[in-house]
């Protein structure tokens, strides 16, 4: 089996030296007891239970990425054994494995075909870059693997004053029958990096600078003929986005005919020549098409504000969109033929939540991710010509139907009358009465929970806990009113929305209000710490994974890393947190004296989103105050729990902590 070149080896200046590998240290955790014994002591070994072992939930999914070749004959899959990854090539007609790449513990973020002879593999690595003044960060790089020649090479390589890093996944274009990748990467002008567009000949291997960016350039749209059509630029200091179109030179789109809202470039419009733009302001989100010369805007397209556009692999134009509205996910296509193909494929799995993963250029073979409420998520290939659906593999192959708890949508009102929704996962086979509860708030906070399979929630439910996921005020994707209601409510009403959910479930008799803990990651980790400090009396234990202990210090850390981009970060957080003078009021670090319950802190040393120091500071403060806590350090782990060994270690630590401090029976 060939090996995928390590990502760290290929992040370099074209005129510089290699930064070297990120190290192949096996991820292992470090446990630090802040103070004294916690009831029952935290043991990391899993205990015996009638449900599936924790490994079945906490391991990496068997399949993380999957894509179908344009001719519909080959599947490329990023697969794991729970720790190591490999990319497997499967011939669809014979279901025979014809090639495989050993990726080790590299983090594979995307797979995309460029014709049938090139697979673009995007990976990320947490590292610093020699000779470049930049923070330790999660950098992305892309490689071109040719499964016919069995060759691989970085796609942005050899261009002077550039790095082999990419932003987002490359755009694929066929020019005179030849495949090219257009990748956004880093080009240096007087030692200042600027996001620029690179053109890569995948057959010849040569890369060149298609267009150099400006200091604030952040995105491009490439035409079907490979010509750069549009460029956007965001100035964080002035909070202004500029939109430019190519007219032999970059011309800024003026006010004439320009609709309100901040523009975001999305891709090509329905005709394959116009530019699809997402426009957002405080009250609405619309999608419009801008003519290539920048003079004419279309009326708003018939798309939901929450839509994710879908582009055709062969023509590159917009062909439809998916959207999650409340609990329902819709897939709408402008072309009746494509809509019929989707409807026919979707009909093969009635009652399940089906999502389009990939499809052939002729839209006759489609790969679906099918999420069953009783069997969990799996992948299937639908061949419309053969009128056949083929089950490929389950994501979590160690789970059976009895290992997956039912998920119920819930609706209740916060204490100020705001209507809230969320999801309640119940332990399989147990009566929903007087159950112990885990409150499990999502991260973001500008995100949302959805009704699909959640490995973490299901793991907790498998041990006898009801699991509550609230889409609290400030959550995104559920309408402008709920999002706007989060303004200034970080640690305030955003927090009491969670405890109001607890009271609602207690009033229904579903949970025992005396047996409630809170577990969360990122913003959810902050909410867990805030539950122990700012909203006491609700929870009997709290587990924070990559949690925020001091908002003030987090904002300062972000600003120190992001330069002028820190202004945007500051505005974002201020919209949630309120004035800077009040930040200590909502900082768990400032209120450790109020802690009366055990706290578990888990944090990855490679976290580039929330600094590991946030958990270290909280652990130190709790220790000084004589409060019960445990700190688990995950070596070589990032913010997203991308490593199999440390992801499982986190889950085992959390479940042991819950069992010790809030036994499920």
pLDDT per position as a tens digit, 272-330: 999 999 998 876 899 999 999 999 999 999 999 999 999 999 999 999 999 998 899 99
- Give the pLDDT confidence score for residue 581 in this predicted structure: 84
Residue 26 in this model has a pLDDT that exceeds 90 = no
pLDDT tens-digit readout, 171-203: 999 999 999 999 999 998 887 889 999 999 999
* Mean pLDDT value of segment 488-504: 97
Distance CA 476, CA 497 (A): 15
Record the tokens describing residue 264, joined without a space.
Answer: 């975001």
Q: What DSSP line would sit under 337-401, residue for residue?
A: HHHHHHHHHHTTSTTSEEEEEEE-TTSSEEEEEEEETTTEEEEEEEETTTTEEEEEEESSTT--G
pLDDT tens-digit readout, 429-438: 999 999 999 9
Record the tokens describing residue 267, joined without a space.
Answer: 């891709």
Residue 23 in this model has a pLDDT that exceeds 70 = no
What proportion of the chain, given as a percentage, has pLDDT over 90? 79
Length of the chain: 665
pTM recorded for the entire structure: 0.91
- Assign a CATH topology to domain 22-57+399-661: Rossmann fold (3.40.50)
Residue 153 in this model has a pLDDT that exceeds 90 = yes
Distance CA 123, CA 300 (A): 36
* Mean pLDDT value of segment 628-644: 95
pLDDT tens-digit readout, 44-73: 333 334 689 999 999 999 999 999 999 999
Distances in whole angstroms, Cα of residue 449 to Cα of each of 409, 452, 536: 11, 9, 25
The band of 157, judged by pLDDT with boundaries at 50, 70 and 90, is: confident
Distances in whole angstroms, Cα of residue 343 to Cα of each of 64, 223, 349, 379: 25, 30, 10, 17
Q: Are 371 and 352 in contact (CB under 8 A)?
A: yes
* Mean pLDDT value of segment 329-346: 96
pLDDT tens-digit readout, 218-257: 999 999 999 999 999 988 888 888 999 999 999 999 655 5
Record the tokens describing residue 551, joined without a space.
Answer: 């908002």
Range scoring the smallest mean pLDDT among 149-153, 183-187, 382-386, 561-565: 561-565
- Give the pLDDT confidence score for residue 28 in this predicted structure: 31
Q: Which residue from 494, 452, 492, 455 is spatially nearest to 471, judged by alpha carbons?
A: 494
Distance CA 632, CA 457 (A): 20
Backbone angles phi, psi at 489, to 5 degrees: -110, 10
Q: Are 288 and 277 in contact (CB under 8 A)?
A: yes
- Give the pLDDT confidence score for residue 190 in this predicted structure: 81
Record the tokens describing residue 526, joined without a space.
Answer: 């902050």
Record the tokens describing residue 392, joined without a space.
Answer: 């490929």
**What SS3 state is found at 26?**
coil
- Give the pLDDT confidence score for residue 192 in this predicted structure: 82
* Mean pLDDT value of segment 9-35: 40
Domain ranges across the chain: 22-57+399-661, 216-317
Which strand (E) or helix (H) includes residue 647?
helix 644-661
CA 416 to chain centre: 32
Distance CA 354, CA 377 (A): 9
Residue 42 in this model has a pLDDT that exceeds 50 = no
427 sits in the region (left: phi over 0; alpha: psi -120 to 50; else beta) called: beta
What one-character DSSP code corresponds to residue 615? H
pLDDT tens-digit readout, 411-432: 999 999 999 999 999 999 999 9
Tokens 């440390």 — which residue? 646
pLDDT tens-digit readout, 562-614: 765 667 777 888 889 988 888 999 999 999 999 999 999 999 999 999 999 99
Gap between the terminal Cα atoms of the chain? 47
pLDDT tens-digit readout, 6-20: 764 445 444 432 233
The band of 34, judged by pLDDT with boundaries at 50, 70 and 90, is: low
Q: Which residue from 575, 576, 557, 578 is spatially nearest to 566, judged by alpha carbons?
A: 557
What one-character DSSP code corresponds to residue 163? B
Record the tokens describing residue 475, joined without a space.
Answer: 């959550």
- Give the pLDDT confidence score for residue 39 in this predicted structure: 35
Distance CA 183, CA 166 (A): 6
């Amino acid at each position: 089996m060939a090996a995928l070149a390590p990502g760290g080896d290929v992040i370099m200046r074209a005129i510089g030296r290699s930064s070297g590998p990120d190290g192949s240290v096996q991820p292992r955790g470090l446990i630090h007891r802040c103070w004294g014994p916690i009831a029952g002591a935290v043991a990391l070994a899993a205990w015996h239970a009638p449900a599936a072992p924790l490994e079945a939930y906490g391991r990496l999914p068997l399949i993380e990425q999957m894509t179908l070749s344009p001719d519909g004959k080959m599947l490329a899959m990023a697969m794991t054994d729970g720790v190591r990854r490999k990319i497997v090539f499967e011939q669809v007609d014979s279901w025979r494995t014809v090639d495989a790449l050993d990726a080790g513990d590299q983090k594979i973020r995307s797979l995309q075909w460029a014709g049938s002879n090139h697979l673009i593999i995007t990976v990320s690595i947490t590292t610093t870059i020699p000779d470049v003044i930049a923070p330790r960060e999660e950098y992305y790089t892309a490689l071109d693997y040719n499964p016919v020649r069995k060759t691989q090479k970085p796609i942005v390589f050899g261009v002077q004053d550039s790095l082999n890093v990419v932003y987002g996944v490359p755009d694929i274009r066929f020019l005179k029958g030849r495949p090219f990748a257009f990748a956004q990467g880093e080009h240096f002008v007087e030692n200042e990096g600027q996001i620029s567009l690179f053109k890569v000949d995948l057959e010849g291997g040569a890369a060149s600078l298609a267009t150099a960016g400006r200091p604030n350039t952040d995105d491009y749209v490439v035409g079907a003929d490979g010509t750069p059509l549009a460029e956007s630029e965001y100035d964080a200091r002035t909070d202004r986005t500029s939109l430019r179109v190519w007219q032999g030179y970059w011309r800024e789109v003026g006010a004439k005919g320009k609709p309100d809202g901040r523009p975001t470039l999305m891709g090509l419009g329905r005709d394959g020549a116009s530019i699809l733009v997402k426009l957002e302001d405080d009250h609405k989100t619309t999608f419009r098409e801008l003519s290539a010369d920048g003079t004419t805007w279309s009326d708003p397209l018939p798309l939901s504000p929450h839509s994710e556009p879908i582009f055709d692999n062969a023509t590159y134009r917009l062909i439809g969109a998916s959207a999650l509205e409340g609990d329902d996910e819709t897939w709408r296509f402008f072309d009746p033929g494509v809509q019929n193909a989707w409807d026919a494929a979707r009909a093969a799995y009635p009652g399940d939540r089906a999502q389009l993963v990939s499809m052939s250029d002729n839209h006759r073979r489609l790969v679906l991710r099918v999420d069953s409420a009783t069997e969990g998520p799996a992948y299937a290939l639908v061949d419309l010509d053969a009128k056949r659906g083929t089950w490929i593999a389950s994501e979590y192959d160690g789970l059976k139907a009895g290992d997956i708890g039912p998920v119920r949508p819930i609706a209740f009102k916060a204490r100020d009358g705001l209507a809230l929704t969320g999801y309640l996962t119940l332990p399989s086979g147990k009566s929903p009465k007087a159950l112990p509860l885990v409150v499990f708030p999502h991260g973001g906070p500008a995100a949302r929970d959805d009704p699909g399979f959640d490995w973490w929630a299901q793991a907790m439910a498998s041990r006898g806990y009801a699991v509550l996921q609230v889409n609290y005020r400030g959550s995104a994707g559920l309408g402008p009113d709920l999002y706007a209601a989060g303004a200034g409510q970080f640690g305030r009403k955003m927090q009491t929305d969670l405890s109001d959910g607890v009271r609602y479930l207690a009033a229904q008799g579903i949970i025992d209000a005396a047996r409630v803990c809170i577990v969360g990651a990122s913003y959810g980790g902050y909410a867990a710490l805030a539950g122990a400090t700012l909203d006491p009396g609700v929870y009997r234990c709290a587990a924070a994974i990559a949690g925020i202990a001091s908002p003030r210090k987090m904002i300062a850390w972000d600003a120190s890393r992001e330069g002028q981009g820190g202004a945007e970060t500051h505005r974002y957080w201020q919209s949630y947190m309120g004035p800077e003078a009040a930040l200590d009021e909502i900082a768990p670090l400032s209120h450790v004296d109020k802690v009366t319950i055990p706290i578990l802190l888990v944090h990855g040393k490679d976290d580039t989103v929330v600094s590991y120091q946030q958990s270290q500071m909280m652990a130190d403060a709790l220790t000084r105050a004589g409060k019960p806590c445990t700190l688990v350090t995950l070596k070589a782990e990032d913010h997203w729990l991308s490593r199999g060994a440390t992801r499982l270690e986190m889950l085992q630590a959390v479940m042991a902590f819950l069992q010790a401090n809030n036994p499920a029976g």
